[in-house]
Amino acid sequence: MRLNSLALRLFATSAAWTLLVLPLAGYIIYSLYREDVQLSFDAQLKKLLTQITIDSMSTTGDEPVMPPNLYEPLFEVTQSGPLRTRFHVVPHSAESIGKSVARTLPYAVEPQLHVLRSAGTASASLFDIEAEGLLLTGVEREDSKLRLFLLNTEDSNRILSLKPATLTPRAARLIDLEGKPKRDVAANGGAIIVDVAARAWVGVEIDV
């Protein structure tokens, strides 16, 4: 194909118009439908949130309950179980791992249930937890206190049993989702037992 041939000029003209028209057409279509799509998505999300909020209202108390229907498969809980993430503590040959954890706990950014020494020579759990049917949804720290938040995903009451491991609870109390104390819980020998209502959240604050 010669550089000055008619075929080459036609091809070049077609390619130029294609490169010009396609982006322009795409931009026009995007501009026309972007706002409608966003408004439709926001309206649908608001509708789902309103329905879930209504279904979460308890008729027997002030605490929210697990709604029986989340109306959207993406919101369904498909996995549950204990957290396996870890945070590191500074190893020290002159003290036990329990003392290392207690010493570094007030400075930990995101404490988790499982601890691993930085040297990699020992590992332990902060507590021995039995929580069948309960989903751990969060762990928070405030000074030397740990807050565990759990959700009962079952239709019947479940028992949370927490026993000493690396750390021994000195005292414990139930808290709401905002961290406000509700009532004290016995910590006999460091063991804590909490009865969690069906489809309900529970927060436990532990002094260590």
Place of tokens 């000195």: 170
The answer to whether residues 115 and 203 belong to one domain is yes
Per-residue pLDDT of the chain (208 residues; tens, 9 = 90+): 566 677 777 878 888 888 888 888 888 888 888 888 888 888 888 888 887 787 777 667 677 777 766 666 555 544 443 433 345 555 556 666 667 667 666 666 555 555 544 444 455 677 788 888 888 777 887 777 888 888 888 888 999 988 888 788 889 999 988 888 899 999 988 899 999 998 888 999 999 8
Is residue 180 assigned to a domain?
yes
Quick one: pLDDT at residue 82? 40
Looking at residue 162, which CATH number applies to its domain?
A: 2.60.40.1180
Domain stop point among 56, 81, 98 = 56
Quick one: pLDDT at residue 112? 54
172 closest CA partner among 160, 157, 158, 183: 183
The answer to whether residues 200 and 111 belong to one domain is yes
Q: How many domains does the chain have?
A: 2
Is residue 61 assigned to a domain?
no
Cα(120)–Cα(49) distance, integer angstroms: 45
The answer to whether residues 51 and 77 belong to one domain is no
Range of the domain at 25: 1-56
